[in-house]
Structure 1
Amino acid sequence: MTGTLISLISILIGIVAANSIGFMYKKYSFGMIGNTIVGVFGSAFLIKSFGRLGFSPWYIMNNGDFDGLLLCINIVVSAIGGALGLVLAKVIKNKLN
């Protein structure tokens, strides 16, 4: 796997998490397209934030070595980012209305 593929998988996990939360809790849903957009940005933001601590895709593929534990942490952080992004976007939307 390359770092780019790991990044794309992380974003896909964020999209799935945001759409899952939107499906389970209708009050946080923006529809499928809105949930997808929020999942992309929430996942990317949290991965970039935690990537500075050593969980980015480039640290997972350090000099051609693969670290499975860092990949699992990256996937979990990406899912949390997508879900939190959706909840935070809904809270902001409710505050603005």
Structure 2
Amino acid sequence: MTGTLISLISIFIGIIGANLFGFFKKKYSFGFTGNTLIGVFGSILFIKLFGKLGFDPWSIMQNQSFNLLLFIVNCIASFLGGVLGLFFAKMIYNKLNNN
């Protein structure tokens, strides 16, 4: 597994997180397309934040070995990034449309 593949898996997990959260909490949903876009950007932002702590894809593949614990933390951070991205996007949307 390469760092690029781990990055793509992380983004996909963020998409799943945002769409699942939107599915179960209808008031936070922007539809499938909106949830998908927010999941991508939320996942990337959260992984960039946690990447500074050593959970980035290239740390997972350090010295051509696979660190499973770092990968699991990366997946959890991606999922949470998608969920929190959708939550904050809906908060911003509501603030901007509040007359």
Q: Which amino acid aligns with 1:22?
A: G
Partner of 1:95: 95
- Superposed CA offset, 1:43-90 (max 9, x none): 000000100100000000001011000000000000000000000000
Which runs of 5 or more structure 2 residues have no equivalent in the other structure? none
TM-score by length of 1: 0.99
Counterpart secondary structure, 1:90: helix
Q: Distance in 1 between matches of 2:44 and 2:31?
A: 20
Moved over 2 A (4+): none
Partner of 2:46: 46
Identity %: 63
Q: Distance in 1 between matches of 2:76 and 2:21?
A: 15
TM-score by length of 2: 0.97
Cα RMSD for the two superposed structures: 0.3
